[in-house]
Amino acid sequence: MKKAITFIKLNVLILSIFSTLLSCKNANKNEVSKIKVPKTKKEQLTLSKGFQLLESNCFACHSPKNPIEDRIAPPMAMIKDFYITNNKNISEEDFIKSLITFINNPNEENSKIPEAIERYGLMPKMNFTEEQITQIAKYIYNSKLEQPNWYKNHFHNEKFIHLENLKNEDLSYKELGLKYAMNTKAVLGKNLIAAIKNKGTEGAVAFCNTRAFNIVDSAGVTLNTKIKRVSDLPRNLANTANKTELDYIYSTKKAMKNNKKTSPLVQEIDKKMVAYYPIVTNTMCLQCHGVPNTQILPATLSKIKELYPTDKATGYGENELRGIWVIEMDKK
């Protein structure tokens, strides 16, 4: 009987220790990761849209897989680390607000990562809607992309899951056109920044002259649509806007002059759905499109005159309309 009691006590002790260890383990897990598991289909869909936006628009520059020497922008894991991990008390709402503020107006004052600006420069201004930035921010905040080897171990599995969530989603023409424009812009921007990094601004002018048009055209072929960039003040005559495109350009310039928010436009033309999206200048643009001999260095200006004798695309300031994306889509 005594042995039986001792045995029972021993079992109780073991169970007690096991329960304590399990509680500690769960408590530590909760402390380390404050990630919220989405419970509703709506929340899951929001995260899936955020992932898709990151993959098609952001990862081209903010790559989660490139080695340090090949990076042209900080990886998303670093961004999350600076915004969230270094500020453990930041709420999801505050993180979303910070990201909206910076992406809508990327400048040093709004940046949380001065080291990244010193190394990579400021990112171009993007044409995301506030809803899309919110979706991106929610995915970053709730994901675990800061974990070591996230891309290798989790990316492809997550992509499959999010594609499954989105497979029945029917994008509007405005959303679909923006996706195509941002995807093309990301690829073009990645190559342009690499050209500046490797060969200087003169090298970037040469890149635009020989490769930019082909990259945009190839993107259209890949996406089974027609994509082009046009302007009222073109550098390359092939990018001259037609009358319909000029109407949108002039109305957008007027809105910007009056400090009004610009909006994409979608209209039906010749049984096609055609969408227009603004292209706005930032600091990087002014190296080739700013004031000659001040923002545009003499060597760069000389290269521009050599390659584009009819150039009209100088004298811009920051946050001015440089041109527009034109996306021509088949009707559904």
Cα angle 214, 219, 225; round to 5: 115
Asked whether the whole model's pTM tops 0.75, one would answer no
pLDDT the model gives residue 229: 96
List every span in the chain annotated with CATH 3.30.450.
Answer: 175-330
Rounded Cα distance, 159 and 109, in Å: 34
Using the predicted structure, report yes or no on whether residue 255 has a pLDDT greater than 60.
yes
Residue 239: per-residue pLDDT: 95
Of 228, 231, 277, nearest to 125 by C-alpha is 277
Cα–chain-centroid distance for residue 43?
A: 21
pLDDT for 17:
36
Tell which wins on pLDDT, 251 or 77: 251
CATH number for the 41-166 domain, one of 2.30.30, 1.10.3470, 1.10.760, 3.40.50?
Answer: 1.10.760
Pairing, β 321-330 against β 265-269: unpaired
Domain with CATH 1.10.760 in the chain: 41-166
CATH, range 175-330: 3.30.450
Task: Give yes or no for residue 199 having a pLDDT over 60.
Answer: yes
DSSP code per residue over 296-328:
B-HHHHHHHHHH-TT-------TT-EEEEEEEE
Which of residues 72 and 73 earns the better pLDDT score? 73
CA dist 244 to 230, 275, 289, Å?
11, 11, 24
Look at residue 28 in the predicted model and tell me its pLDDT.
39
Q: Quick: pLDDT tens for 14-44.
A: 334 334 444 444 433 333 334 445 568 889 9
pLDDT at residue 15, rounded to an integer: 38
- Give the residue among 252, 112, 135, 148 at the shortest CA–CA distance from 182: 135
Q: Among 28-42, 238-252, 293-307, which stretch is predicted with the lowest mean pLDDT?
A: 28-42
Which stretch, 54-58, 77-81, 251-255, has highest mean pLDDT? 251-255
